[in-house]
Amino acid sequence: MLLRKKFPLALFSPKERTAYFISNIALLLIIILGVAVDQLTKVQSENTLMVHSSEDNPREYRGTIYPIFRFGDPERAKIDGHYFGFNFSYVRNPGAAWGMLSSLDDNIRVPFFNVLTLVCIIFIILFLRATPLSHRMARLSLTMILAGAVGNMIDRFRLNYVIDWLDVRWSIGGWYYAFPNFNIADSLISLGAMLFIVDAIFFEGWRRKRLTPDNHVLLEENAKLSELLENI
């Protein structure tokens, strides 16, 4: 539809145009805020938690742990008992989640992750643009995922690795596990993914049930109108 492509709001009412504009501004602010908080906290963690870093090899570094909250004895918890700890700890992740593919040669790893990140961001943007305005939770979840992806992309392009600084560890009955370090961007991606799943499971079915026969007729009429406008 040529008119729709050139003027995507041409067929919207003034109220719909205002809602569309406000929604996009709000989502843009979420992206800006999410990326800003992610980058500022990463810089702060590098300045305060990194003890040593080699100028020649970024894989050679040493960070420190700053405990925030602890329940139980971490040493005894590895044998028996219960423990939960939340710390700030500087870690460099040259790979994907859980450090996957971090051992790849830099000549392969760096361009691979840079291209993969760009492709994912483009896909998310296209998906977000195609998501109807009424799907508020889906749009919010995609926006959070996009903000997290951009935050980690900046690290990859700037440093060739991602800074992780949030450290969670626990022990239940002697089962000790240190969750891989993560950051604000990872948190946004995870929370956005969970919201998207909730929307797909619960709200998508509800929206389909609301699509009454009258709404089907209205959609068919809009489709016919779009065909008539293609040659304008």
Q: What is the pTM of this model?
A: 0.80
| Section 194-216 average pLDDT | 74
- The band of 144, judged by pLDDT with boundaries at 50, 70 and 90, is very high
Q: Is 164 tagged catalytic?
A: yes
Most confident residue range from 3-12, 52-61, 88-97 = 88-97
Q: Is 186 tagged catalytic?
A: yes
Residue 174 has pLDDT above 80, yes or no: no
Contact between 170 and 145 under an 8 Å Cβ cutoff? The reply is no
- The band of 1, judged by pLDDT with boundaries at 50, 70 and 90, is very low
Q: How far is CA 77 from CA 80, 167, 171, 175, in A?
A: 5, 17, 6, 8
**Nearby residues of 125 by Cβ (< 8 Å), 6 or more positions away:** 146
pLDDT of residue 47: 94
pLDDT of residue 140: 95
* Catalytic residue (one of 38, 155, 167, 186): 186
- The band of 110, judged by pLDDT with boundaries at 50, 70 and 90, is confident
- The band of 104, judged by pLDDT with boundaries at 50, 70 and 90, is confident
- The band of 73, judged by pLDDT with boundaries at 50, 70 and 90, is confident
- The band of 173, judged by pLDDT with boundaries at 50, 70 and 90, is confident
What is the spatial distance between Cα 162 and Cα 96, in angstroms, rounded to a whole number?
Answer: 9
What is the spatial distance between Cα 127 and Cα 147, in angstroms, rounded to a whole number?
Answer: 14
* Catalytic residue (one of 164, 167, 199, 214): 164
Q: Dihedrals φ, ψ of 179, to 5°?
A: -65, 140
Residue 2 has pLDDT above 50, yes or no: no
Sheet holding 65-71, edge to edge: 65-71, 83-93, 162-172, 175-182
What region, left, alpha or beta, does residue 90 occupy, with left being phi > 0 and alpha being psi -120 to 50 degrees? beta
pLDDT of residue 229: 46
Query: What's the longest Cα–Cα distance across the chain?
Result: 75
